[in-house]
Structure 1
Amino acid sequence: MTSINIGIAENDRLEIAQGLKRLLADSYTLYLQTHNFHWNVTGKQFRELHVMFEEQYNALALAVDEVAERIRTLGVAAPGTYKAFAELSAIEEVEGVPSADEMIDILTRGHEQVVRTSRDVLKVAQDANDESSASLVSDRMREHEKTAWMLRAMRENG
């Protein structure tokens, strides 16, 4: 690839890209879990959860593309295999088909993990004055915080 001169030092670009790879892996793993739960949810809240999970996995599909393209913009190859995502992601795979309530809890923890990963990447991007990555990550963080809140609200009594 040709030289990249976008005002971010090479070491910083590589460190930001590595953080974005973790964000991409967490987001893609969460996408897969959400899509799986959309297909397999049952119970009294079936319709509501089926529709909610579809909205969430569609949003995640767009998000992973944005994150991957930012990694490429920084001059680094974006991971794109299950193996790479499994190695990079902090989100655990789910075995079997959990109950609807367990699905909500699992997805809540997944969105919270994406927020924590985002916070780590955000600090690196801000320290390197990479406003483009910081803005992207900040937007992702806000969306995952909101989604986690909505999922938690579904489990509250009252």
Structure 2
Amino acid sequence: MSTNLIGLDTAKTEQLASDLNELLANYQIFYMNVRGYHWNIKGDNFFELHAKFEELYDDLLLKVDEIAERILTLGHRPAHSYSVYIERSSVEERRNVSGGKVAVGQILESFAKLIRKQRDILSTAGEAEDEGTVSLMSDYISQQEKTVWMYRSYLGQ
């Protein structure tokens, strides 16, 4: 078995890096969607949602950087072009959304995709004995489960 500089199996880190690049693509598209919601939101809850969307996109941007740095730590290169992000993301690009409930519903759909992908990566990282990626995914999942509950509560679900 060949290992990288941090002692992980090179073949397993290659798979993890590929999975993390797909996750990175999803985060980048989600981030841009939320920026659009923030800029274009209208209606009774403008002030509340405008601030909430800013809080969310700030968090997503931090996670984008953490994921890219994790890929680099594993010895691979993070994707860094929107053409790749569009191609690899299961989170759909959203345009011209100004309704609060529509935006929140789309945010919930995106979180569902992220959490599902992160659970898959968590499992793969566990099998590879990659504690760094396990820890990152575990933190994201627990934070996002609470966020999903809050957004669902906003929608009355």
TM-score, with structure 2 as normaliser: 0.94
Residue 126 of structure 1 aligns with which residue?
A: 126
Q: Give matches, 1:71-90, under 5 Å.
A: 71-90=71-90
List alignment gaps of at least 5 residues for structure 1: none
Check if 1:46 corresponds to 2:46.
Answer: yes
Q: Does 1:33 align with 2:33?
A: yes
Distance in 1 between residues matched to 2:81 and 2:55, nearest whole Å: 24
* TM-score, scaled to structure 1: 0.93
What do you get for the CA RMSD once the two structures are aligned?
1.3
Name the structure 1 match of 2:146: 146
In the alignment, the residues of structure 2 paired with residue 33 and residue 95 of structure 1 have an alpha-carbon distance, to the nearest angstrom, of 7
Matched, 1:18 2:18: yes
Q: Matched residues in 2 for 1:142 and 1:87: separation?
A: 28
What SS is found at the alignment partner of 1:145? helix
Q: Distance in 1 between matches of 2:146 and 2:89?
A: 21
What's the secondary structure of 2:129's corresponding residue?
coil
1:108-123 mapped onto 2 (5 Å cutoff): 108-123=108-123
Per-residue deviation, residues 105-158 of structure 1 (Å, max 9, x unmatched): 00111111110110111110000110001101111122222222111110007x
- CA deviation after TM superposition for structure 1 residue 21, in Å: 0.8
Equivalent residues in 2 for 1:89-100 (5 A)? 89-100=89-100
Structure 2 gaps of 5+ residues are none
What is aligned with 1:61? 61
* In structure 2, C-alpha distance between the alignment counterparts of 1:82 and 1:47, rounded to whole Å: 30
Q: Is the 8 A contact 2:26 2:85 kept in 1?
A: yes
Deviates more, 1:61-70 or 1:133-142: 133-142
Number of residue pairs the alignment of both structures matches: 155
8 Å Cα contact 1:122-1:133 kept in structure 2: yes
* Structure 2 counterpart of 1:114, one-letter code: L
